[in-house]
Chains A and B, each alone.
Chain A
């Protein structure tokens, strides 16, 4: 059985401008990340002490760091890690939060109560502080970051989905599905959930901005990606000792974060506009 939903007719034939710009920006970084081995002019890790701390030039467009490593190449290779952070750091909380929120909203009663109190407690902690505390237990590293992200980040998705499910579970199409004697699992995951996801997909895009910033901040603090891997937050930390002599080491990786995050912000705005979701 399929439920025919009236598709919202778009007033303008084209796509929203922010959406197009966002797709272009994020897409450009994705191309750089995938093509890093061919596009980066130098090895991101190879040291060249003869060429250390060089300002931007024709040979090194964005300059070199204190080990003579090419900043442009490190920024391009860093896109792999930071895009991965944005993707995995959103997808795990999204999946966990969606399941918990859906079950919580659909089941109601004591299940709902227990999950929502848990949400309250997790939300009471400042996000980054809880992340840092969890990473302290697991030990520094990218894997710990993803686990901490999954443990902390699911709450927003659970809340969003739960609110949607609470409304949708009284909808006519659910009543119809019930009257056909469908099981709870089928009703929840095949009928209610697909209709409840729109808002959290838009939220996931703006969440990607926060996740990328958090990932970079955790690496900046020395708790995430470990040297000598090229990651933007770590590059900023490594360059901080040279701000009086070599501004380019910290400036360009930061700009890379800003541009990628801007892309996701535009994507979120544009997608929200397209799907008619207000944050």
Chain B
């Protein structure tokens, strides 16, 4: 199993990146103009109360000491309190994580369900009208703003046809899934444009590969060659592309959550900025960055597991 040895040392390589993420978010939040103590207590706070808060949060100490406090708190799972919701940031995030996870996972699954048939159709009819049509649509799809696409789907499917709720998140699981269909479809359609172009290209490359030619020489029908040899091999680069695009996917979900008023982390982030709820902004930005790093790592593990030729 020495192929998987990187699983042990790669996390060590990730440590500097995680350190950098914490420095950047810390510096960003501390460079916001205004006194955090005043922000916590409001404009009518007395000087003694302000001084007390400054001492309590270590705001009267040099910046690097404050950063060490920040790291210490972080290691104890303490990320500060939301000044809007009056609860710990971690508890707040735990309440809001479900819609975001459902949105990201749901749109990845949906986008694969859209991409694989479309790319196969285009690759197997290369140069014909179907191929040109799919390429044209996916090129145009690259420029689709997700938030606009979401509103168009709302107008079409919710307002006119009444198939799905316009916004929000349900209470029962069935209701929630019903609420998630349109947001997931929105992100999935935008994502499919990127994936289809890529998957079509790698399918065409695989169809000309030696093993496909060998299978043809053995007299296997083209349909079987495609399903058994071309499809699995061409999916590997697409999975990598998905992982590379996870940052894009999270960014897209931030916007789409706002469009559909989904009570997820992205909506919390955007509202946190307008409410100047900086502890929340800091924690969510960090959580998204750490999630991106971890998912990319998992994708590497998955790639090695799928394709025995790949060494990392």
Chain A interface (Cβ < 8 Å from any Cβ of B)? 117-118, 120-121, 123-130, 132-137, 206, 209, 212-213, 216-217, 220-223, 233, 236, 240, 243-244, 247, 250-251, 253-254, 257-262, 264-266, 269
Main SS at interface, chain A: helix
A250 to B278, CA, bound (A): 31
Instruction: Find out whether the CB atom of B155 lies under 8 angstroms from the CB atom of A247.
Output: yes
Could you pull out 6 A-B pairs where Cβ atoms are within 8 angstroms? A121-B24, A124-B21, A125-B289, A129-B285, A212-B143, A254-B149
- Asked, given contacts A132-B269, A132-B273, whether A233 binds B145 with beta carbons under 8 Å apart, the answer is yes
Chain A residues with CB under 8 Å of B242's CB are none
A266 to B142, CA, bound (A): 10
Asked whether any CB of chain A lies closer than 8 Å to the CB of B148, the reply is yes
Instruction: Find out whether the CB atom of B17 lies under 8 angstroms from the CB atom of A221.
Output: no
Instruction: Find out whether the CB atom of A236 lies under 8 angstroms from the CB atom of B25.
Output: no
Minimum Cβ distance to chain A for residue B222 (Å):
27
Minimum Cβ distance to chain B for residue A30 (Å):
17
Minimum Cβ distance to chain A for residue B269 (Å):
7
Our pick among A120, A213, A265 for the contact of B145 (Cβ within 8 Å) is: A213
Instruction: Find out whether the CB atom of B147 lies under 8 angstroms from the CB atom of A236.
Output: yes
Instruction: Find out whether the CB atom of A262 lies under 8 angstroms from the CB atom of B143.
Output: yes
Total residue contacts A-B, CB cutoff 8 A: 150
Our pick among B142, B149, B289 for the contact of A129 (Cβ within 8 Å) is: B289
Our pick among B20, B28, B139, B274 for the contact of A266 (Cβ within 8 Å) is: B139
Instruction: Find out whether the CB atom of A124 lies under 8 angstroms from the CB atom of B251.
Output: no
Instruction: Find out whether the CB atom of A121 lies under 8 angstroms from the CB atom of B17.
Output: yes
Our pick among A128, A233, A261 for the contact of B254 (Cβ within 8 Å) is: A128
Instruction: Find out whether the CB atom of B255 lies under 8 angstroms from the CB atom of A217.
Output: yes
- Could you mark each residue 271-288 of chain B with 1 if its beta carbon is under 8 Å from any beta carbon of chain A, else 0? 001100010010011001
Interface residues of B in 7-50 (CB under 8 A from A): 16-17, 20-21, 24-25, 28-29, 31-32
Instruction: Find out whether the CB atom of B269 lies under 8 angstroms from the CB atom of A236.
Output: no
Q: What residue in chain A is nearest B156 (Cβ atoms)?
A: A247
Asked whether any CB of chain A lies closer than 8 Å to the CB of B208, the reply is no
Asked whether any CB of chain A lies closer than 8 Å to the CB of B154, the reply is yes
Size of the B side of the interface (Cβ < 8 Å), in residues, is 48
Interface residues of B in 252-277 (CB under 8 A from A): 252, 254-255, 258-259, 269-270, 273-274
Instruction: Find out whether the CB atom of A130 lies under 8 angstroms from the CB atom of B285.
Output: yes
Instruction: Find out whether the CB atom of A124 lies under 8 angstroms from the CB atom of B20.
Output: yes
Minimum Cβ distance to chain A for residue B55 (Å):
25
Asked whether any CB of chain A lies closer than 8 Å to the CB of B140, the reply is yes
Instruction: Find out whether the CB atom of A126 lies under 8 angstroms from the CB atom of B247.
Output: yes
Chain B residues with CB under 8 Å of A120's CB are 16-17, 20
Instruction: Find out whether the CB atom of B148 lies under 8 angstroms from the CB atom of A257.
Output: yes
Chain B residues with CB under 8 Å of A236's CB are 145, 147-148, 151
Most chain A CB within 10 A, of B25, B146, B152, is at B152
Minimum Cβ distance to chain B for residue A110 (Å):
14
Instruction: Find out whether the CB atom of B250 lies under 8 angstroms from the CB atom of A243.
Output: no
Our pick among A125, A135, A137, A260 for the contact of B292 (Cβ within 8 Å) is: A125
Instruction: Find out whether the CB atom of A209 lies under 8 angstroms from the CB atom of B148.
Output: no
Minimum Cβ distance to chain B for residue A253 (Å):
8
Our pick among B20, B21, B28, B246 for the contact of A137 (Cβ within 8 Å) is: B28
- Asked, given contacts A209-B143, A213-B143, whether A136 binds B273 with beta carbons under 8 Å apart, the answer is yes
Instruction: Find out whether the CB atom of A126 lies under 8 angstroms from the CB atom of B251.
Output: yes
Q: What residue in chain A is nearest B270 (Cβ atoms)?
A: A221
Chain A residues with CB under 8 Å of B292's CB are 124-126
Chain A residues with CB under 8 Å of B252's CB are 128
A137 to B26, CA, bound (A): 12
Instruction: Find out whether the CB atom of A129 lies under 8 angstroms from the CB atom of B288.
Output: yes
Asked whether any CB of chain A lies closer than 8 Å to the CB of B298, the reply is no
A223 to B21, CA, bound (A): 23
Most chain B CB within 10 A, of A136, A222, A244, is at A136
Instruction: Find out whether the CB atom of B288 lies under 8 angstroms from the CB atom of A126.
Output: yes
A259 to B141, CA, bound (A): 10
Instruction: Find out whether the CB atom of A223 lies under 8 angstroms from the CB atom of B273.
Output: yes
Instruction: Find out whether the CB atom of B16 lies under 8 angstroms from the CB atom of A117.
Output: yes
Our pick among B25, B142, B246, B255 for the contact of A209 (Cβ within 8 Å) is: B142
A259 to B140, CA, bound (A): 8
Instruction: Find out whether the CB atom of A117 lies under 8 angstroms from the CB atom of B20.
Output: yes
A215 to B278, CA, bound (A): 23
Minimum Cβ distance to chain A for residue B138 (Å):
10
Instruction: Find out whether the CB atom of A133 lies under 8 angstroms from the CB atom of B28.
Output: yes
Instruction: Find out whether the CB atom of B32 lies under 8 angstroms from the CB atom of A261.
Output: no
Instruction: Find out whether the CB atom of B269 lies under 8 angstroms from the CB atom of A129.
Output: yes
Minimum Cβ distance to chain B for residue A11 (Å):
17
Asked whether any CB of chain A lies closer than 8 Å to the CB of B113, the reply is no
